[in-house]
Amino acid sequence: MGRVRVEDVGVSEGGHRFKPVLLGADTGVYAIARAFHEAYSVRSTVVSLAALGPVAHSDIVENVVVGAEARPEDLVSALLEVAGRHPETQLILMANTDWLIRFLVTHRPQLDPHYTIPVVDEDLLARVADKASFAEICEAAGVPTPRTVVQDFAGADEPGWTPAEVPFDYPVIAKAANSADYERLRFPGKRKVYQADSPEELGEVCAAVVAGGFRGRFVVQEMIPGDDTQVRSITCYVDTRGRVTLSCCAHVLLEEHTPSGLGNPAAMITGRWDEILDPAHALLQAADFRGYANFDVKVDPRTGAPAFLEVNPRIGRNNFYVTAAGVNPMRFLVRDVVDGEAVDPVVVERQILYSIVPLWMLGRYVLDPGLRATVRRLIRERRTANPLANPVERRWRRRLYVVGARLNHIRKFRKHYPKVTATGL
């Protein structure tokens, strides 16, 4: 392979100069940078607390590191410094974790004069990013969601405070209503998602969360049975006119199972399923949503009915499954906010196998014969994709990281999820 073209500034379909500036340093951020590069040959500037493995030593990323102890005002200063280096270029500022989305919304008045920020406003963020409010939006729009009880820990320090009672059967799932309030806390036994098989176990979860310093809201939901293969992912883009111009679905095969990563898909097969796309579009229209959205859905194996679990007001950590299926999601954004053009809606139908874990592992965890056959066929046809395994990356340290990341997934699954369970937990 010859030298790959990498430009500091991209040029849109309409001939306008622009540059992506991304917050964060995880696999999802790298996938965004890769999509921008594949579409426009442009190098993204990544501003982060530390240049972690996914973005370190990359030929398509310029890293700006502010340090692990950086305060929000330090991030703002770094972004303003980056903006000052590109006075004649439209800068698109994106983030892909809940707390950084909240940072963008909070500091929008300082950043708006310098950046195009394709993120929902503060009121809408409060409604859709909160899982309790999301359940209310689903109910109003007639979209199925698990029965939910809200545990509010705001008064947990008051004498006599007790958790709310759960009016449906155990086991239940418990998780923070708003991940941005929760994800940066550190305490013993912390998990992204908890399973409680009895009121006593739920009480223990609540006590641990309160002791860990959390004073926000938790949602407690009825558990929908089924392992990881009952989960679906949907990624959409809603343009500035309110039209859903991009839709892509994926059937999850395997999720991550570390305490902090539980629920993040690790392997998926893309395809088109209108029975989940139609309610997703209805939710986006009902909420008057704009920008990227990523839905988590679980199909009840008893009834075949989907239940919408949450929507993330961002493109999602595993967004590369859209690019790998042949439709680059960054083109929809650039045509919209850089060129100001309306585009015809696209629903992705091409089937590809997306996986951040070694492909042989899927034979261990995918038990359904039909899915196993599809996995084998896609591997045989070489219709597979890993966002980190980018052929344009030439540095040996980068390639070594990708190999190490795959080996690390083997270690993590052996430790946290050695065999398939009926619930995926």
pLDDT of residue 392: 96
- Average pLDDT, stretch 131-143? 85
Average pLDDT, the chain: 92
pLDDT bucket at 140, cuts 50 / 70 / 90: confident
Give every CB contact of residue 353 below 8 A, 6+ residues apart in sequence: 267, 268, 269, 359, 375, 378, 379, 383, 384, 385
Q: Among 11-25, 158-172, 326-340, 384-398, which stretch is predicted with the lowest mean pLDDT?
A: 158-172
- Average pLDDT, stretch 340-366? 96
Q: Among 147-161, 228-242, 290-304, 372-386, which stretch is predicted with the lowest mean pLDDT?
A: 147-161
pLDDT of residue 175: 87
Which residue ranges form the domains of the chain, and what is each CATH number? 10-126 (3.40.50.620), 147-222 (3.30.1490.20), 228-416 (3.30.470.20)
pLDDT of residue 424: 62
Q: Spell out where 223-290 has E strands.
A: 231-238, 244-255, 265-271
How far is 97 from 336, CA to CA, in rounded Å?
23
pLDDT single digits (tens) 203-254: 888 888 888 888 888 889 888 988 899 999 999 999 999 999 999 999 999 9
Tell me if 240 sits within 8 A of 234, measured CB to CB. no
pLDDT of residue 2: 53
Of 263, 266, 241, 235, whose CA–CA distance to 253 is shortest?
266
Query: What three-state secondary structure class fits 215?
Result: coil
Give every CB contact of residue 349 below 8 A, 6+ residues apart in sequence: 271, 272
The residues pairing with 17 across neighbouring beta strands, listed in sequence order, are 11
Q: Among 72-86, 185-199, 262-276, which stretch is predicted with the lowest mean pLDDT?
A: 185-199
Of 306, 387, 328, whose CA–CA distance to 353 is shortest?
387
Highest mean pLDDT among 159-168, 194-203, 371-380: 371-380
pLDDT bucket at 131, cuts 50 / 70 / 90: confident
Long-range pairs for 84-91 at CB < 8 Å and ≥24 separation? 86/9, 86/19, 88/17, 89/9, 89/17, 89/18, 89/19, 90/16, 90/17, 90/18, 90/19, 90/116, 90/338, 91/18, 91/19, 91/20, 91/21, 91/115, 91/116
pLDDT bucket at 330, cuts 50 / 70 / 90: very high
How far is 294 from 280, CA to CA, in rounded Å?
10
How far is 88 from 229, CA to CA, in rounded Å?
48
Tell if the pTM clears 0.95, that is, is over it: no
Taking phi over 0 as left and psi of -120 to 50 as alpha, with beta for the rest, 166 belongs to beta
What is the residue type of 76? Answer: V
Q: Please, what is the angle between helix 98-106 and helix 72-84, to 10°?
A: 70
pLDDT at 368 over 50: yes
pLDDT of residue 178: 76
- Average pLDDT, stretch 344-365? 96
How far is 355 from 357, CA to CA, in rounded Å?
5
Task: Please name the residue ranges forming H helices in 45-97.
Answer: 72-84
Tokens at 393, concatenated: 């990356």
pLDDT single digits (tens) 307-329: 999 899 999 999 999 999 999 99
Strand 61-65 and strand 217-222: the pairing is unpaired
- Average pLDDT, stretch 14-28? 97
Of 371, 328, 349, whose CA–CA distance to 248 is shortest?
349
